[in-house]
Structure 1
Amino acid sequence: MAPPLPPTVFKPSPRVVSYLTDGLLYGAHSSNNRDGITKRVGIAEINTQEGGMRAALETSIFFWQGVVKELKTPSPSFPPPHSQSEIHADTDQKMTQADLLVSSERLAAALQAQGVGPGDVIGVCSENSLEYCIPVLAALYVGATCATLSAGYTPRELMHAMSLSRPRLIFSSEGAEPLVREAADRVAGLAEEVVVMGRERQFLRHLTLEMFVSDYVSEQGRPQHFHLHRVEHPKEHVAFIFCSSGTTGLPKGVMITHHNVLSLLANQRYAVESDNLPLVEGYALGFLPMYHAYGLMILLYMLEFEATMVVMPHFNPETFLRTIQEYKITWCAMVPPILAFLAKHPMVLQYDLRSLARVGVGAAPVSGDLLRQFKTRFPHIEFIRQGYGMTELTLSALANNANNHDKLESVGKLVPGLEAKVIDESGRSLGAGKNGELCFRGCIVMKGYVNNPSATSQIIDREGWLHTGDVGYYDEEGSFYIVDRLKDLIKYKGFQVPPAELEAILMSHPGVMDAAVIGVPDEGAGELPKAFVVKTDAIVTAQQLVDYVNGQVSSAKKLRGGVQFVEAIPKNPSGKILRKELRGVVSPKSKL
């Protein structure tokens, strides 16, 4: 183990260092400082002169290396014509790498023929599908921005999202098409056309993807008159507009640049190679919603590294387990509720999941107890990576190998190209072991919120630090720990109570499948901690759970608001608890 670092900083040894991430050169002098800023530098070296990484930077494509080579130096034998890129979990329908390359190029050629390019936005509104990435890649090829939209939105929510990104064209699934048309008709000046994606000819009443392409591209196969758009300023050019999680109000449009994405993909490669693992081995399971930054970045990662992804349109417990068993899934990214389902639900024991070797989990906190339960049920899983991030950080700013048994509660260390600090309410940087707000600065910080400079300035300060709103700390070895959301802290008689701590204790009880804790108003105390619980055991009582928690916490953290049993905890698609929905149904009774 390395010797402990000074109490206010953790860095490599003092020297000038530099590193490459997909051709983006960073350099920094890593001498010690005293302002509590931490920096991860000098640890990732990628040869950008060979393979497709340099080409990807030059052509703005985030694509597997072979396809980038193929685009620059066409070869009929590359990519392999039968090499599978995606498989549909329900139908076993397959899309090869060659299919995807030709389809995305043909759509890009059609977009260029229609005059779509830099400054334009292409919307994608669909459930997960084999075709989802075709318009995504085509938009990147021509230098347009891709805005991903949830097919689960209400008309009001979709209208809001579309008014943020203002897409010129929208590519939709058949199921989402009525929703898209209703929203497009009610937002003036948007969506010249709605194109329905699908691989068959059943959409006779709609403009299909095939029809749209054939209107502009007459030849079969790869188009002859098509050129890739070179992005001259990757730090400024917006590749994606994602909607923020919207847990505290209507979502905002998060602008993610080409620079952000290239840096993220390089960090993903570095993280895997630093653990001496193959980039991808076997089949990966894709059930995270692709409209979300987490799901889409995983998809791009799989495409870049020539992996095969088995795609699930929606999450269904039986389909999820059956797919892992039948396709012998080896790699799966998930959110904490799915990790809890695997660790606790008796249904899981009916399936053979021994093929699963690597798991990534993020988007919300995971307790050490839950990780231990998961590892007890699945001792064969070789590698579990927990991370911390947010849409405004492209995906992941911190990453940890959960096989490090001494630090199961940690969300990891800084990824390359990033700085971090922990600050108090006055903005002063804190040292190791002290709780404060986490702030990050570097290559994966978003450009800002689209057409919202006021909201951007509230989260990114003048020095470029992104203020996360999350409370946490780091230890002397540079490992970070999340305490809770700053806005979610419960104020009990002047004490700050983190709901995540109480939720972790509840989740360690064998009779609890899921839990959420909020503060309910109280005239005497300000707020009282109250728990909402989904049971695995019908026998467990609310009082038993109150006693279970209260026996492990200090006085201010006791569940004076009680326990209420519910069928499900409301969460957004990335697994974050929607506490505002819980606050709307409580009728607190003071138990001072």
Structure 2
Amino acid sequence: MVSSARPDVVIPDVPVYDYLFGELDESRLDEIAIIDGSNGQTTTYRQLIAHIGLFAGALAARGIGVGDVVGVLCPNVPAFATVFHGILRAGATATTINSLYTPEEIANQLSDAGAQWLVTVSPLLPGAAAAATRLGIPNEQIIVLDGAPGHPSLAELLGEGRLAPEVGFDPATHLAVLPYSSGTTGRPKGVMLTHRNLVANVAQCRDTIALDDGDRVLAVLPFFHIYGMTVLLNFALRQRAALVTMPRFDLTEFLRVVSEHRASWVFIAPPIAVALAKHPLVDQYDLSSVKVVFSGAAPLDGALAELVAKRLGCIVCQGYGMTETSPVTHAIPVERDDLDRSTIGVLLANTEARLVDESGQDVPAPASGEETSAPGELLIRGPQVMAGYLNRPDATAEMLDADGWLHTGDVATVTADGVFRIVDRLKELIKYKGYQVAPAVLEAVLLEHPSIADAAVIGVLDADGQEVPKAFVVLQQGAALDADGVMAHVAEHVAPHEKVRVVEFIAQVPKSASGKILRKELRARESARA
């Protein structure tokens, strides 16, 4: 077992709202909390806190409180912070939904989470309304932030002037959020994260990630994803930094916003690093304000990190985590310029890790020197580890053992100094541009096509070294379906990030005696071609 070398931090036994805003000094209330990157409008901490309270009061007046779940289908706009923290302050639980989801996927998450209310914006209303219709959610329970006929708007709710309710719950057990994750395999599951989970991870990040109150933080990573939720929406605000929001990634707009608003910390996923390292457009913008580029959500190649650092004249770090760990467990501290950028760094405070081999035995860490351990599956234990999967005791037991160890499904090594590196992945999950893509979901869609007899999906690397979904397809006898037809069929039924990007037709999908797809054989076939 490896324990964090960093001293334990105190984790207050308080709700998320109290931890983020309860100690904010009066003298700092008029500092900028959020900047709308698209138009430059600002929200101060005073305004944000007031709006959160008013939104919580409006929810409470509608009977929403402890035990209720509210869906949030919204891009990164300043109002997201009001909505998200207003839901939590009202004592309810937020289930954040991918803005790219289809109506069917939205409905599935709302249904599974038990949400009877939904918050969205007008551009996403058609999909939200279609999902709500499937579930019998009436229009008056769909809040459209920027307004739409027949729906309550944010301005209307804040204009009611209702005070935030007095609510009581145990932060250690009460669910703050229900983001959805495929875990190590299978269809998305509701990850039960308590107020203590989220508070703990912010406290842990404060010790390792040197973001400060003078910084401006680019918030292009989606708030609905646990990375954006914890590291940007919660951690950056707790550090009294200013969040600069972007509703979606567009390279030209990204560069403009960084340049005009003088962002000093830029949190990204690896595909953005590819653009920063290689795209000629980067040279047309003044990015001298950038001190740190911090990558997460998927593995960052060390050579790519060095290219970004050299081109921007900044520090590049990466971290590691999962939705099930709130998410951060490892990070490269800014001051550790000795660390290989392709590593995931060191354990956060209050966190323990183990590496176990295929037999379940612990892999010993090297005693000293520059040696590296043998690889083993990475197990994590700490206060940021989830309470479990919603209504999925079997899946919870597979992921989280009786001693509190969470099995990540990732294979790692560790040095004598406690520096970890991810070297492989046991889990089937594909990470496309930082988004989780479950092969099981795509396989189910593929098998719905009448010309497809069988199918399997794995992740393969594209020309930029980024993982993309590839489908191995067995056609029905006499069928004339081509690769474009396969990809078009999938695209009709899934979100854009879940699309199949490569297709190979094969005679038979390799399977075990029990019928389980042998993805290792498909990966071996890909490796042999490389």
Q: Output the TM-score relative to the length of structure 2.
A: 0.78
1:68 maps to amino acid: G
- Return the alpha-carbon distance in structure 2 between the equivalents of residues 61 and 80 of structure 1: 15
Alignment of 1:337-416 (within 5 A): 337-378=271-312, 380-381=313-314, 383-401=315-333, 404-416=337-349
Task: Indicate which of 99, 114, 119 corresponds to 1:166.
Answer: 114
What letter matches 2:63 in structure 1?
Answer: G
**What are the superposed Cα offsets for residues 352-383 of structure 1, whole Å, 9 maximum, x if unpaired?**
111100121111111211112222212x31x3
Give me the whole-angstrom Cα distance separating, in 1, the residues matched to 2:502 and 2:57: 50
Give me the whole-angstrom Cα distance separating, in 1, the residues matched to 2:495 and 2:327: 12
- Which residue is equivalent to 2:245? 311
C-alpha displacement at 1:139, in angstroms?
A: 1.6
- Does residue 206 (structure 1) correspond to residue 151 (structure 2)? The answer is yes
User: Is the contact between residue 125 and residue 172 of structure 1 (CA under 8 Å) also seen in structure 2?
Assistant: yes
Residue matched to 1:4? none
Give the equivalent residue in structure 2 for 1:61: 17
Find the counterpart in structure 2 of residue 445 from structure 1: 385
Q: Is the 8 A contact 1:145 1:240 kept in 2?
A: yes
Q: Does the CA-based 8 Å contact 2:9-2:350 persist in structure 1?
A: no
> Equivalent residue for 1:231?
169
Contact 1:59 1:230 in 2 (8 A): no
1:95 aligned residue: 43
Are 2:355 and 2:413, in contact at CA under 8 Å, matched by a contact in 1?
yes
Partner of 2:29: 80
CA distance in 1, matches of 2:5, 2:416: 17
Tell me what 2:477 maps to. Answer: none
1:330 aligns with 2:330: no
Q: Residue 374 of structure 2: which of 431, 434, 439 is its match?
A: 434
Match of 1:6 in 2: none
CA shift for structure 1 position 404: 2.8
Structure 1 residues 445-464: aligned runs within 5 Å = 445-464=385-404
Residue 282 (1) aligns with residue 215 (2):
yes
Unpaired stretches in structure 1, ≥5 consecutive residues:
1-36, 47-52, 490-498, 507-511, 523-565
Query: Deviation at 1:85?
Result: 1.4
Q: In the TM superposition, what is the alpha-carbon distance from 1:280 to its structure 2 partner? A: 3.8
DSSP 3-state at the match of 1:457: helix
AA aligned opposite 1:337: P
Contact 1:285 1:332 in 2 (8 A): yes
Tell me the CA shift for residue 134 of structure 1.
Answer: 1.1
Does structure 1 residue 127 correspond to structure 2 residue 93? no
CA deviations 1:174-209 (Å, max 9, x no partner) are 1112211211111257887001113xxx63443212
Q: Distance in 2 between matches of 1:415 and 1:132?
A: 28
**Counterpart of 1:581?**
500
Distance 1:347 1:442 in 2: 42
Partner residue in 2 for 1:484? 424
Checking the alignment, whether the CA contact within 8 Å between 2:355 and 2:412 is kept in structure 1 is yes
How large is the RMSD of aligned CA atoms in angstroms? Answer: 3.4
Are 1:39 and 2:19 counterparts?
A: no
Q: Residue 87 of structure 1 aligns to a residue in which SS?
A: strand
Pairwise CA distance, 1:351: 1.2
SS in 2 for 1:309: strand
8 Å Cα contact 1:488-1:518 kept in structure 2:
no
Aligned residues between the structures: 458
Conserved 8 A contact 2:90-2:164: no
Taking only the aligned residue pairs, the percentage that are identical comes to 31
For the residue of structure 1 that corresponds to 2:22, the secondary structure is helix
Contact 2:119–2:143 (CA under 8 A) maintained in structure 1: yes
1:423 maps onto 2:423 in alignment? no
Structure 2 CA distance for partners of 1:586 and 1:394, relative to 1, 3 Å: farther
- The aligned residue for residue 518 of structure 2 is none
CA shift digits 1:105-156 (9 cap, x unpaired): 0111122222222111121111111101112111221221111112210011
1:420 shift after superposition = 0.9
Residues 347 and 278 of structure 1: is their aligned pair in 2 closer, same or farther, counting only changes over 3 Å? Answer: closer
C-alpha distance in structure 2 between counterparts of 1:438 and 1:257, whole Å: 23
State whether structure 2 residue 241 is matched by structure 1 residue 241: no
Q: Which protein shows a greater Rg?
A: 1
Determine the structure 2 residue equivalent to 1:296. 229
AA aligned to 2:204 is N
Other-structure match for 1:555? none
State the distance in 1 between where 2:310 and 2:423 align.
Answer: 25
1:441, 1:45 → 2: CA distance? 15
Distance 1:521 1:280 in 2: 50
Q: CA deviation at 1:248?
A: 4.9
SS in 2 for 1:176: helix
1:91 partner SS: coil
Matches within 5 A, 1:99-110: 99-110=47-58
2:480 matched to which residue of 1? Answer: none
Q: How far, CA to CA, are the matches of 1:342 and 1:450 in structure 2?
A: 38
Paired with 1:518 and 1:109, the residues of 2 have a C-alpha distance of 44
Match of 1:183 among 98, 108, 131: 131
Q: Which residue of 1 aligns with 2:102?
A: 154
**Alpha-carbon distance change, 377 to 41 in structure 1, aligned in 2, over 3 angstroms:** closer
Q: TM-score, normalised by structure 1?
A: 0.70
Which of 254, 259, 276 lines up with 2:191 in the alignment? 254
Post-superposition offset of 1:79: 4.8
Counterpart residue type for residue 109 of structure 1: G
Could you tell me how far apart the structure 2 residues matched to 1:163 and 1:356 are?
Answer: 42
Which secondary structure does the structure 1 equivalent of 2:64 belong to?
Answer: coil
Residue 545 (structure 1) aligns with: none
Contact 1:60 1:229 in 2 (8 A): no
Q: Structure 1 CA distance, aligned partners of 2:178 and 2:410?
A: 23
Amino acid at match of 1:398: H
CA distance in 1, matches of 2:29, 2:359: 58
1 CA distance for matches of 2:289 and 2:189? Answer: 39
What displacement does 1:346 show? 1.5
Conservation of the 8 A alpha-carbon contact between 1:195 and 1:209: yes
Query: Counterpart amino acid of 2:421?
Result: Y
Counterpart residue identity of residue 74, structure 2: S
Aligned 8 A contact 1:358 1:384 in 2: yes
